[in-house]
Amino acid sequence: MDVEVRDKIFVDGSWIKPSGDQLTDVIDSTTEEVFAKVAKATAADANKAVAAAREAFKSWSQTSPDERGKYLSRINEGISARMSQLSEIISKEVGTPLGLSQFIQVGVPASTFADMANRANEYEFEERIGNSLVVKEPRGVVAAITPWNYPLHQIAAKVAPALLAGCTVVLKPADLAPLNAYLLADVMEEVGLPSGVFNLVTGPGTEIGEALVSNPEVDMISFTGSTSVGSHIAQLAAKDIKRVALELGGKSATVILEDVFNSDETIAKAVSGGLFMCYLNSGQTCIAQTRMLVPKAKLAEIEERVAAETATYTVGSPFDAMTRVGPLVSKKQQESVRDYIRIAKDEGAQLLTGGEETPEGLDKGYFVKPTVFTGVDQNMRIAQEEVFGPVLSIISYENEKEAIEIANNSSYGLSGAVWSSDNDHAVKVAKQIRTGQVEVNGGMFNPTAPFGGYKKSGYGRELGKYGLEDFLEIKSMQLGF
């Protein structure tokens, strides 16, 4: 098997050798083999990238939104032209089934750049309020630190609005899934983005991430990842009063209301929708709906339906058209999920289907069976902690008030879902769930609507108009004329 080597970093418009000569292995999550190696940069390299971004900010911040939008449009075209290559790479890195990779892992990021390009001429960067001219200006140099589960999507959600705002960027992608970021840097070079506006530095978060967050020339940090790391970043950033946007963990609930059971079709949709949002990307999704809340009187019926439908989630290679659940990203993640399955059993949860055993015929690869527990108490670890794997907890409730209380009984508040036979009723319940977004009766994810969390799921918003505004400062100019 050929191993691709990307031993340089992208700084100040050029591919340069980092100060060290070490490389990081990139593992194919299906075969467990090294399929690529990328540069392992140092803090000195990160600081060099920040210096380039700071210098580039002087001119980039003065360009017109229209000009910046034209670059974003060309970046969208460059990503779209690499759809097949990027999809295959991300499926190897993360384990997402190829069809979903094409749509979610590449299609959505491309559309994010397109959306920001369209906003270049729509968004009002200036407005008059009385005798004041209120202007919205770029925050400055942005350090974007991104995760591995939706690698290009999370990069686009930060880089596209930052560039439109007039900021310059230093990107530190996840070590487990860095190759897609290299292809994005290739696109940046191809479209002729001015030197230093976008910089790519790969390496361990403990060194590169710390250097970026601590560098006084960085004006803003946009981070997606675990709550513990997000808290650490916020504390470091507070020393210099840096702006911080955090998109962290989640423990989302699918709330199936009692009136759903008036229609067999509605019940089927609720179960299907909840399972899809639990098992999507092998459960490696911050908005995964890993708790299913159901009326106690209907528990047995839900158990039967969930077990039957889970059996249709074929586990296998992401390159097999029959696969619905691919491998997890790494051996470490696989072991973590298996540990949670064991913990759930020890705490008294009842295993309905799945388990920690290796799926039949899949001895190679970081696979875990889609697993469902029932009889789950809302305070069990399996119901409170982010598993980040294909594991569902079914929790029963006595009445609607208790369902809402259970849904809100979480330190997280990122997403959720409500199912009802009455749309108005569903919306009424959704408004009582303390999360940044709620799917109502199967509403699809909207990549132009604001995305972000309450509570320990973070602060700030990504995507669409609100995502752009996170990268803008507001200035009032009091006019005497």
Which tens digit of pLDDT belongs to each residue from 177-207? Answer: 999 999 999 999 999 999 999 999 999 999 9
DSSP string, 23-61: EEEEE-TTT--EEEEEE---HHHHHHHHHHHHHHHHHHT
The answer to whether the beta carbons of residues 400 and 432 sit under 8 Å apart is no
Is a pLDDT exceeding 80 seen at residue 318? yes
Assign 2 a pLDDT band (cuts: 50, 70, 90).
confident
Pick the CATH number of 252-447 from 3.30.1330.60, 3.40.309.10, 3.20.20.10, 3.30.230.10: 3.40.309.10
**Interval 128-147 mean pLDDT:** 98
Beta-strand relationship, 243-247 and 220-224 = parallel
Q: Report domain extents, the chain.
A: 4-248+457-478, 252-447
The single residue of 247, 303, 309, 400 carrying the catalytic annotation is 247
**Interval 365-387 mean pLDDT:** 98
DSSP string, 213-270: HH-TT--EEEEES-HHHHHHHHHHHHTTT-EEEEE----EEEEE-GGGGG-HHHHHHH
**Interval 61-70 mean pLDDT:** 98
Q: Give the chain's mean pLDDT.
A: 97
DSSP letter at 210 equals H
Read off φ and ψ for residue 220, nearest 5 degrees: -150, 145
| CATH node for 4-248+457-478 | 3.40.605.10
Q: What's the alpha-carbon Rg for the chain, to the nearest Å?
A: 23
Residue 285, CB half-sphere, CA atoms under 13 Å: how many? 25
Q: Is 167 a catalytic residue?
A: no
Assign 1 a pLDDT band (cuts: 50, 70, 90).
low
Q: What is the pLDDT of residues 69-100, one digit of tens each?
A: 999 999 999 999 999 999 999 999 999 999 99
Is a pLDDT exceeding 80 seen at residue 304? yes
Is a pLDDT exceeding 80 seen at residue 167? yes
Q: Is 286 a catalytic residue?
A: yes
The answer to whether the beta carbons of residues 396 and 295 sit under 8 Å apart is yes
Read off φ and ψ for residue 295, nearest 5 degrees: -60, 135
Q: Which segment of 17-21, 298-302, 433-437 scores lowest on mean pLDDT?
A: 17-21
Q: What is the rounded CA–CA span in Å between residue 395 and residue 352?
A: 13
Q: What is the rounded CA–CA span in Å between residue 245 and residue 259?
A: 39
Query: Which of 359, 415, 413 is CA-nearest to residue 390?
Result: 359
The single residue of 278, 286, 400, 439 carrying the catalytic annotation is 286
**Interval 429-453 mean pLDDT:** 97
Is a pLDDT exceeding 80 seen at residue 35? yes
State what percent of residues in the chain have pLDDT above 90: 99
**Interval 332-357 mean pLDDT:** 98
Tracing tokens 């911040």 back to the chain, one arrives at 61
Let me know the angle formed at the C-alpha of 103 by 144 and 367, rounded to the nearest 5 degrees: 80
Q: What is the rounded CA–CA span in Å between residue 144 and residue 224?
A: 9
Q: What is the rounded CA–CA span in Å between residue 436 and residue 174?
A: 24
pLDDT at 234: 97
Assign 448 a pLDDT band (cuts: 50, 70, 90).
very high
Q: What is the pLDDT of residues 224-270, one digit of tens each?
A: 999 999 999 999 999 999 999 999 999 999 999 999 999 999 999 99
